[in-house]
């Protein structure tokens, strides 16, 4: 992804996950907003955006960060929200035996005390593969990989969800289900 695309992708993530009101945009409960309105609000606030730019960013995203509706008219972020406007009705799903979470070594003491919390987002984010988890952890500093006993948690009544882009979500992970 070019430098410029990366900036636009970050802008879209910020608006569609966290602060739609920063450009006067509304999202529905499922996180959707009309692409036409996104473009109008973005342009009004000084960001160059059009249909082509949006479609390119969506298609270039290896992580499939954004979904386009079947009719091609609406867009949403697949996961990662903190906006109160959004409460996506993710489908519950039985997880594999283990899921992974990458974090920074500097957080580990606090995680030992509290387990994994969702922090500013609506869910704790987990991945099915170690590589992705390590990459996610590296965003915060020297990474450490945590192995989550997901199926055991599920067996004890904890709920798991999977976003359209494959990212696993759960409300919290008590430390007893975490292997360092």
Task: Give the footprint of ligand HQG on this chain (CB under 6 A).
Answer: 13, 63, 65, 80, 103-104, 107, 110-111, 114, 116-117, 119-121, 125, 136, 139-140, 167
**Which element (helix H / strand E) includes 39?**
helix 35-44
- Give min distance, CB of 44 to ligand HQG, in A: 25
- How far is 45 from 22, CA to CA, in rounded Å? 9
User: CA 154, 32, 3 angle in degrees (round to 5)?
Assistant: 95
Residue 36 CB, nearest approach to ligand HQG (Å)? 24
CB of 139 to ligand HQG, least distance (A): 6
Which CB atom, from 42 or from 146, has the smaller least distance to ligand HQG?
146
Least distance CB 128 / ligand HQG (angstroms): 12
Q: Which is nearer to ligand HQG, 47 or 140 (CB)?
A: 140
Question: Beta-carbon neighbour count of residue 118 at 10 Å?
Answer: 15
Label residue 119 left, alpha or beta by phi (over 0 means left) and psi (-120 to 50 means alpha).
left
Q: What is the DSSP letter of 82?
A: -
Minimum CB distance to ligand HQG smaller for 44 or for 139? 139
């Amino acid at each position: 992804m070019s430098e410029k695309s990366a900036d636009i992708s970050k802008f879209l993530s910020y608006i569609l996950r966290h602060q739609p009101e920063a450009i006067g945009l509304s999202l529905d409960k499922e996180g959707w907003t009309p692409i036409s309105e996104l473009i109008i609000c973005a342009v009004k606030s000084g960001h160059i955006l059009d249909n082509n730019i949006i479609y390119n960013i969506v298609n270039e995203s290896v992580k499939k960060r954004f979904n386009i509706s079947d009719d091609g008219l609406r867009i949403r972020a697949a996961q990662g929200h903190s906006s109160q406007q959004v409460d996506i009705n993710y489908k519950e799903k039985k997880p594999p035996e283990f899921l992974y979470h990458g974090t920074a070594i500097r957080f580990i003491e606090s995680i030992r005390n509290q387990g994994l919390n969702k922090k500013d987002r609506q869910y704790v984010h987990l991945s099915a593969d170690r590589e992705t988890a390590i990459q996610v952890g590296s965003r915060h500093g020297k990474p450490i990989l945590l192995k989550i006993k997901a199926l055991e948690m599920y067996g004890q009544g904890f709920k798991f969800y999977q976003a359209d882009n494959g990212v696993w979500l759960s409300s919290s992970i008590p430390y007893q289900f975490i292997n360092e």
